[in-house]
Amino acid sequence: MPINPEALLQEMLETPSLSGQERAVAELLVRRMGEIPGMRAWRDEAGNAVGVLGDGPEDIVLLGHMDTVPGDIPVRREGDLLRGRGAVDAKGPLATFVSAVAQAGPQPGKRFVIIGAVEEEAPSSAGARHIVGRYRPAAAIIGEPSDWDRITLGYKGSLVAQYTVARAGEHSSGPNANAAEKAVDFWIRARDYAASWNGGQPRSFATLDPALRAIWSEDDGLFNHATALISYRVPLECSLAELKGAMPTWFDEGQLTIVSAEEPFKAERNTALVRAFLEAIRQEGGKPRFALKHGTSDMNIVGPAWGCPMLAYGPGDSNLDHTPHEHISLAEYRRAIAVLSRVLVSLAQ
């Protein structure tokens, strides 16, 4: 294998790549993938880093993402741990893809397509949206942290909405609610809607989960203005259309803007792809497990469109996503590479 997996991951972590600013890490990936014998690598029109190995009639797409959320975490090695922004979410899984494909090498009848997507952490999801109509894979693996011995089959959907309101100024002793109070009322109704929909069921993959992302107000002396930004994690059983339809009933003045909306998605469990992962994890000494995630990923976008066997996989503890403590175990990273390389070889048999 012409690349060093640990050096590759460290290089990626040392190259900042906030959403919308991924060019440097994309160029790094194109260079490194271009060093793998037989692999063709380039940046596509959206800025995604793409590497293709093999010429078979069936595509196996390995879709990860290069971008990270803000927050500088100095890259450093501490024993088995490698710290840095993106170590878990999701440069670790993406580096696993590159290293595993390099280790597996070309396989008969298969074309391995590695895609490091841009803007997965942004509402735009520009990288995944760019490729969704350009590939029709036989199977797809999404690069997200799940631990080396666990595979993820589904993600909740999401809805992000912004409510804004302006009211004429009056003395604070006056009888009318001000804009800030109106924004709080909107959030309370949003929260109560979820509580009613859930019917007392504890938080799970089947519950509608609200969050108040931000709320702010200002007063210019003539009018007071307020904005509330809320989000939902949406289960399979909840209709996004019905949720959107209910929201205008929660206020009597102001404006509602839907910032983004993604349908939930759950992949099939009984597929050759899943079976290949279960066997590979066992061969590496693990006891395979399944996960359903409360967040979203690019699986929400490509899953419904591609309709092929699909799952998410990658090393790392997803509880460290977006935290100041983000790090990855290099031993786990190496085991994930071994698992995935076994899977890629078995899919061609």
197-214 pLDDT tens trace: 999 888 899 999 999 999
86 and 188 housed in the same domain: no
Looking at the structure, do residues 75 and 123 belong to the same domain, yes or no? yes
Same domain, 171 and 289: no
CA 261 to chain centre: 14
Among 229, 262, 295, residue at a domain's last position = 262
What's the CATH number where 131 sits? 3.40.630.10
Domain boundary among 243, 262, 281: 262
Q: Does 36 share its domain with 132?
A: yes
Per-residue confidence (pLDDT) for residue 176, from 0 to 100: 77
Q: Residue 48's domain spans which residues?
A: 5-155+264-347
Same domain, 19 and 149: yes
Is the same domain home to 124 and 63? yes
Residues 138, 172: one domain? no
The answer to whether residues 221 and 342 belong to one domain is: no
Total number of domains in the chain: 2
CATH number, residue 197 = 3.30.70.360
Whether 195 and 299 map to the same domain: the answer is: no
Which one from 120, 262, 317, 332 is the annotated catalytic residue? 120
| pLDDT tens profile 103-125 | 999 999 999 999 999 999 998 99
As a whole number, the mean pLDDT across the chain is 95
- Selection from 231, 213, 250, 228 nearest residue 180 by Cα: 228
pLDDT for the residue numbered 166: 94
pLDDT digits (tens, 9 = 90+) for 253-280: 999 999 999 999 999 999 999 999 999 9
Known catalytic membership, residue 263: no
Q: How confident is the model at residue 169 (pLDDT cuts 50, 70, 90)?
A: low
User: Is 0.75 topped by the overall pTM?
Assistant: yes
Q: What is the pLDDT of residues 311-348, one digit of tens each?
A: 999 999 999 999 999 999 999 999 999 999 999 999 99
Instruction: Kindly name the residue from 22, 67, 263, 298 that is annotated as catalytic.
Output: 67
Domain finish residue from 262, 288, 310: 262
* 91-104 helix and 330-347 helix, angle to the nearest 10 degrees: 50
The yes-or-no verdict on residue 184 having pLDDT over 90 is yes
Same domain, 167 and 250: yes
pLDDT for 174? 60
